[in-house]
Structure formats: C-alpha cells, structure tokens
Homo-oligomer: A and B are copies of this chain.
C-alpha cells in the first residue's frame, strides 16, 4: 500500500507531545491536538491568531448548514442540496500585543516551543518563549480543556511571564462568529444579540438557512485587577485590557466559556437567559480539571488497551480510544459519528455506514448505552429515511449514505441512489446490538419498526430476474470501484439476512409479546401476509458462488478484465484524483472489502475454508483506497493464521493520524478508522467475535509485542484479557460467571482468572 510514517510527535504511552514548532506541520497538529466532548469539538489551532496556514475549526455536534450550491444534475431522487457541519464559533479568540508587536507564531521570534496533550486528563498545554523585541522576552503558557461532564463548558488559561525586560502587554479576548467554512469559502452565521460588561461578554448567532442558534459567552478572572474595554465588531465581541509586567513577574488569566446550542427553535427566546445563568454558575478551571481527570480515569479503567514492547502502538491505540471517546460516548441519541469526528470539515462532518459497521463494535464492548444511542439515532431519523425511500420510488426506509440530520446529504447519485449498505448496516447494527445485549425491549419497541421499514425498502428496491431469482440490480456495494452492478454479493447477502431477521423477530414477538407485535404492525401499517411474503425473497436471494465456496462479488465479476494492482504507479494514487473517473470502474480491482466484509460481519455463518478461499482471491485485488479496509483484512488474516500479513495490515492502524500516513490529517482525524484500529486489536489479535451465541476469543499475539491487555464489557461483565507469548489470561473484573468460547471451546469465566497456555 506504500504508506510511509511521518514520525514527528514524541512517543510516550500517555502523552502526545510536540517539541519545537514547524510551520509546515501546523495544520496537522491542529487536527492531532483536537479536543472534544461529543457536544462540541475544537481543533488545536493557535487561539492568539496565526497568519500562516491554518484551519480554525470549532464544531458542534449536529449543527449544520445547507450547501449554498445546488446540485448540477437534476433528476428525481438526486439530492438537490447537500448539508454539512458548519464551522461555528472561536470561543478561544485571543490577541496579544507586547509593546505593540502582535503575537503571531508565523513571524514571531520564539523558542522552547512545546505542546502536550495528556490522554489521562484531556488537557492541552502549549508553552514557548517569545522575544517581541530586543529587550523583552516573555514566556507564555496556554491551557485549554472541555468539561467532559458539563458539556457546554470550555476553559482556557493563559499565563505570561516577563523573562527578560519589562513587558507592556495588551490582550484582547473574545468570541468570534466570523468563522469561514474553508470548503465553501464562506461564513454561515448571522449575529443576533451581544452584550458585555467589564469581565464577561456574550453573543448569540444563528445559521443562515437552518436557523440553528448558538449562545457563546465567557467570563474572565485574572491574577491582577483589569481595566477592560469592550470591543465590538460584526459577529464579534470581546474585552481588551493592558497589563504591565516587571521582569520575572507573572500574569495569568482564566477564561470560563459556555456554549449552548439551540437546534430546534424550541425555547430559543430563553437562550440568552439560560446561557447567562449557566455562565455565572461555571466553576473554576482547577475544579473541572480534577473532575476531568477522574472522568478519564474511569474511562481508561474500562476501555484501556495496554501493549508491552511496542510504545508506538501503545501510544497509538490510546490516542485512538481517547479521540473516539471524545467524539462520541452516547451522550445524546441525536448525535452520530462524523467521518472526521469534530476535528475538521472534510466529509462535511457527515456520518456514514461506518457508524454501524466500524464504530459500533467499540461501543458494544465498552459502552453499551452509547451503542444503543447510535441505533436510537437511526430510529429518530426513520421518517427521513422513509422520505428518502419515496424519492427513490421505493417503499419503507432507505438510510442515507451520508447525513447529519437524517436526510441524505450525498449529492452524487451514483452513491446515494445505488448504495444500500447504510440500510442493511442499520439492520445489522440492531441485530448485533441485540445479540450482545439481549435488549429485547429496544428491539420490540424501536428496533422492529426500523427493521420492518428497511425490509420493506429492500423488497421494493430488489427485483426478480428473468430466471426467477431475487436480488438487486444496478447497485454499488461497499466496493465503490464497481458501479451499477447486478447481484452484488454484499448487498444481496446483507438484504437476505435483514429480511430473515425481521421475519424472525416478528414471529418471535407474535409468539411472546403480542402487544408490541400488534403495535409494531399497526404503526407500520404492516399485514402478516406482507412480511411473510418477504420469506421467498430471502430464499431466492442470489449469492453467486462456485464449487469451492468462492463468492462472485457480482454477476460478471469473474469475467472482468484483470488488473494487476501492483502495476499501478504509486503517484497515481489516490486513483480518484489521477484516473479518468470512468476508468476506475471497469476492471477487477477492489477499493475495499465487499465479499470479505460480510464474511467478517456474519463471521460465524461461514466456515474457515470458505473464508480462506475468498480471502485469497479478493485480498490481492484490493487497493485499500479506504482507511477502513486494512483493518478488516488484518482481522481476517489473523483468523486465517496469516499472522505476518495480519500485522502488516495493522501496521498503520493505530497511528494513521499520529504518523499522518495518508498525508491528509491536516483536514481532520480519520475518526472512523480510529474505531477500526481498536477493532483490529480486539477482533483481530484478540480474536473476539460477537456474532455468535457466546462471546468468542481466539487470541494471537504479534511477534513484536511482549504482551497486550484489553478490557471489554460483555453482558455486564467487565472482562480483561491479557495475552503474552506464553499464555492467555482471562479475568473477570466485574460481574457474574459467564460462558465464553475460547479457541472454539466453551469455557466458564469466574472470578478466578482463566489461564490458557498457548505454547503448545
């Protein structure tokens, strides 16, 4: 795959550090040092302003705008206007002058630059020495953090020490809604109200077309009394003050900020009052710092993965878990996981099918409530999915390829109208969640409605071929390099399973919970006859397979022109940027796993021999032009005993962003890839499987590691698995005795750790 690590940050098990400042890496660092608490996220930009390359990004989960550009292609079912996460408010806005010289790291004479993100506390600290002129040298320390519990709160402290000479400082601190969405080159905010007094300033602004409001206010407390002046500009309000420092004197100022989103317009007239009260009751930086530390301690006690003998991956996987947790931990079922989390505007902040297939397993095994909320998001957006199905001349519900608000945001018809893995992914997610949680209450109340409408969609979008087989015509599977194909194996197989599961759940409800059964039928206007008729579609669903179990990715795939992917010059990647668009689609090259993907998802439904023959056929054809692809391959390689290959595919999973493997980390973190890095260790090396009746474990250990330990929460048991070169140790840290399959043998895990010698 020809990816090369760009090693830059200091390697440390718990801290991501930068020593010295390199302009060319500044935007990458902005992404790396992003903070978030699911409610909001902020890139690690220099809050004092920076005239170099920068993406000043501040995002709020679910706050979006409609694209100003209309789609050029206008046919029914083609999305006319996209939507995207909008860049919101710079609530850290600061400007500093020393003897009239503005601080700007693009030009300033500085040294001793350091930046540290501590994964145990979530605090970001930056410090450096600045020589604004010949006589003066000051030391600056910036700290920032987001309150992980009171999620509307952000904090900033600035400390300035006059190291040499006196320093006549002027400081401006404000909230700024003049944020550009870089992709659109446009600001999307309209100022509503603003006010300020000597130690606080607040503003409410509103998005142009979606009319979502944000209250942003802050108050400051300084180490000496300040004579502040109010500074007002369009979409900006701030406080300006002068500070005179004698040599070796230290000044510090703390900003408490409150940002409250009103997305729906309900009670928006009270927003200013609510905001001001919240701002007033905000406790100090130090108190919140201590709470955050405890918060993260608790997180790590359940989610940590320890790797001995490989500090790079140790740091990498902790960084992944940290960022994934920052992005989403199930705070609000109206949230989802954007492809770049809350760290950049690439992919529009939109959530894709990655949520159910790549991210869900992490939550299923570390935070079941969060997993449930991800599915509730789909339940709450069912009506949008039903609307989408109608646009496609279909029945039921079609879940969007990309969305923030439940509506389809992807305006490329070849994706939005042809790819149904979001829909089957949601059904799979429900099945997977229920399989792990046994949460029949969710299933019978919310889940079943979603399953019924997805099944309806699938039956109406599918069709009977001339020779009496059922399947999907004119689709694109997960492998986005095969467009408008018939009988894509992934689509057909996942649809088959979806239909079967929906019928199974309905029959189960009919037998044991008639109240919910009838309520579901009534809500969906579903007759028993209708859903029973889906059985024949499931039965006659085509999955093309040869005598060795080799599945044909779609009808005709085996006859396609063969392309040796190693013959493609490295400078032609990514192919979307270098190849004529249509050229991508007419050979047997694969972008990302398609057949292998459902062999992974429904792992227990396929034998090892079948997995092997398919892996060996499809792996050499795959170019992994999706950051999710290598992990799936790694997991299957592990299962097939191809340990070397498994490690090669894993190699850049945990450090995708820390080492900027794809050279685009500056646009934001690969948040959903981060999820697959976790999966790569737990499902891959750990051999965890959650698609069977019992939890399964078949651990292996990469040659380079001494040991590794991961924790999972499964059916209310906190289980710790330690794998070293000699043995696997499984400990029950919390909860009752449970049966699990270890290396395909059923064993009981009690509070006495189970140790299996693996040297034989």
Residues of B within 8 A of A561 (CB): 463-466, 473
Q: Is A221 an interface residue (CB 8 A)?
A: no
Known: A466-B559, A561-B463. A73 touches B586 (CB 8 A): no
Q: Bound complex: CA of A76 vs CA of B69, how far in Å? A: 21
Residue of B nearest to A72 (CB): B72
Residues of B within 8 A of A578 (CB): 76
Q: Is there an interface contact between B463 and A581, defined as CB atoms closer than 8 Å?
A: no
Contact with B along A372-392 (1 / 0, CB 8 A): 000000000000000000011
Residues of B within 8 A of A583 (CB): 77, 392-393
- Total interface residues in chain A, CB < 8 Å: 46
Q: Is A560 an interface residue (CB 8 A)?
A: yes
Q: Is A553 an interface residue (CB 8 A)?
A: no
Among B393, B463, B473, B580, the residue within 8 A (CB) of A77 is B580
Among B464, B486, B586, the residue within 8 A (CB) of A474 is B586
Residues of B within 8 A of A641 (CB): none
Q: Is A71 an interface residue (CB 8 A)?
A: yes
Among B71, B466, B474, B562, the residue within 8 A (CB) of A558 is B466
Residues of B within 8 A of A585 (CB): 474, 484
Q: Bound complex: CA of A700 vs CA of B48, how far in Å? A: 88
Q: Is there an interface contact between B72 and A391, defined as CB atoms closer than 8 Å?
A: no
Known: A580-B393, A581-B77. A465 touches B559 (CB 8 A): yes
Q: Is A467 an interface residue (CB 8 A)?
A: yes
Q: Is there an interface contact between A560 and B466, defined as CB atoms closer than 8 Å?
A: yes
Q: Bound complex: CA of A471 vs CA of B749, how far in Å? A: 60
Q: Is A576 an interface residue (CB 8 A)?
A: yes
Q: Is there an interface contact between B417 and A473, defined as CB atoms closer than 8 Å?
A: no
Instruction: From A394, A556, A560, name the one whose CB has the most chain B CB atoms within 10 angstroms.
Output: A556
Q: Bound complex: CA of A167 vs CA of B144, how far in Å? A: 86
Among B73, B465, B486, B558, the residue within 8 A (CB) of A412 is B73
Q: Bound complex: CA of A486 vs CA of B73, how far in Å? A: 25
Q: Is A522 an interface residue (CB 8 A)?
A: no
Residues of B within 8 A of A486 (CB): 556, 559-560, 586
* Chain B nearest CB, measured from A545 CB (Å): 17
Among B394, B473, B474, B576, the residue within 8 A (CB) of A75 is B576
Q: Is there an interface contact between A417 and B581, defined as CB atoms closer than 8 Å?
A: yes
Q: Is there an interface contact between B582 and A418, defined as CB atoms closer than 8 Å?
A: yes
A-B contact pairs, 18 of them (CB 8 A): A71-B72, A73-B73, A77-B580, A77-B581, A77-B583, A78-B581, A392-B582, A393-B579, A394-B580, A417-B581, A463-B586, A465-B559, A465-B561, A466-B559, A466-B561, A473-B587, A474-B483, A484-B484
